[in-house]
Structure 1
Amino acid sequence: MIRIEKLNQKYGGTQILWDLDLEVERGSCTCIMGRNGAGKTTLLKCLMGLLPTSDGKILYQGESIEGSPAQARAKMGIGYVPQGRDIFPLLTVEENLQIGLPARRDGLKKIPERVFELFPVLKDMLHRRGGDLSGGQQQQLAIGRALVIDPKVLILDEPNEGIQPNIVRQIADVVTQLNEEDGLTVILVEQKLGFARRVGKEFRLMQKGSVVAADKMANLDDGLIRQYLAV
Structure 2
Amino acid sequence: MIEIRQLSQRYGGSRILWDVDLKIEQGSCTCIMGRNGVGKTTLLKCLMGLLPIAAGEVLLDGKAIQHVAAHQRARMGLGFVPQGRDIFSTLTVEENLQIGLPCRRDGVKKIPERIFELFPVLAEMLHRRGGDLSGGQQQQLAIGRALVTDPKVLVLDEPNEGIQPNIVSQIGDVIMKLNAEGLTVVLVEQKLGFAKRVGSEFRLMEKGRVVASDSMAGLSDELIRRHLAV
State the TM-score, normalized to the length of structure 1: 0.99
Paired residues for 1:49-64 under 5 Å: 49-64=49-64
Aligned to 2:189: 190
Which residue in the other structure is 1:35 paired with? 35
Residue 225 of structure 2 corresponds to residue 217 of structure 1 = no
Give the whole-Å Cα distance in 2 for the aligned partners of 1:96 and 1:167.
20
SS state of the match for residue 127, structure 2? Answer: coil
1:179-221: CA deviation from partner (whole Å, max 9, x where unpaired)? 002x100001000000000000000000011100000101101
Within 5 A, what are the aligned runs for 1:167-182? 167-181=167-181
2: CA distance, partners of 1:58 / 1:13: 22
C-alpha distance in 2 between matches for 1:140 and 1:164: 12
Q: Distance in 2 between matches of 1:85 and 1:115?
A: 17
Report 1:65-104 matches (<5 A): 65-104=65-104
Partner of 1:207: 206
In 2, Cα distance between equivalents of 1:13 and 1:148: 38
% same residue: 75
In 2, distance between residues paired with 1:215 and 1:86?
31
Structure 2 residue matching 1:71: 3-state secondary structure: helix
Gaps of 5+ in 2: none
Q: CA deviation at 1:12?
A: 2.1
Q: Which runs of 5+ in 1 are unaligned?
A: none
Structure 1 stretches (4+) deviating beyond 2 angstroms?
none
Give the residue type in structure 2 aligned to 1:100: G
* CA distance, structure 2, for counterparts of residue 103 and residue 60 of structure 1: 17
Matched residues, number? 230
**Equivalent residue letter for 1:226:** R
Q: 2-side partners of 1:213 and 1:171: how far apart?
A: 26
> What TM-score do the two structures reach when normalised by structure 2?
1.00
Q: Considering only aligned residues, what root-mean-square deviation do their CA atoms show, in Å?
A: 0.4
* Match runs of 1:1-16 below 5 Å: 1-16=1-16
| Aligned counterparts of 2:130 and 2:37: Cα–Cα separation in 1 | 30
